[in-house]
Structure 1
């Protein structure tokens, strides 16, 4: 499995709008999920070893960011025909099992991933209150296996800065992960 890295942050790029089904049975659009101080859109999936290695940290950091007024949402865009573990039913089970503090949405036709320019799982898009892109980096230095728990919290610190100032850090390290499984 080859690792892939998304491009660097294109500061100021507006967030694409979308409406997708959530694992709770409701439909959500960007306006429903937007936070007063910013919005974090994460592309994840159920089976990616990079996602699984940081899942507990994603949950921790999401909870902490929500407390700062940052809206947080995760989207799965993988082809579930080729990767049944990423099916909508399995997404529901994963969200329930891990008590996700964020909505987990299904992008079955992959149009949202394409609109965002998402390339891998995990892929993080951090927006300010005006929905202008300010962060496109990694969560931390963890790779495919769970790493140290005391690594610098790059995503959390960047989004906290966005929540407080409206601007993300100029220096960002790209995320790394498995490619989105396109149809």
Structure 2
């Protein structure tokens, strides 16, 4: 990188620069690359298949699908407002739920969410950390299928009437165990295209 910067290039190209670097070292190196890029005001094209890495180092991201541009946007745009099933699933973990929209409400089994767009078949995307597990006294309801302790958080798979959901939850004094009944609150659900095209 230092040798390239000395040449004062118009554009720096990084092609999977951290693919063989240890995970902890990777975080430090990508932060240093980002710092150098901003400090010297360099334009950089950074190619990676690591979605977390792309979110961390980029001002704008181009998601490619079989040689075609699927979506262009800021990291926040792509993570919070994916325009297709492919982008939602490619950038981070996503729960994709099929249902129907009627009168501005998305319905799937006992789930009802406010959405925009026309009535008819629809797909919504909800990130695992945007699902809260609550007391099983209000719909939608689910059953914990598996629970995994990941140190900084718990990861649950919850079976519902509209499919299995991946839920990332903070550590609590009493972790849920498989078979536990839970209520679900889904925040930040985004309507996205069902066929890989743009949303309506």
Under a length normalisation based on structure 1, what TM-score does the superposition of the two structures give? 0.25
Under a length normalisation based on structure 2, what TM-score does the superposition of the two structures give? 0.24
Higher strand share: 2
Higher helix share: 1
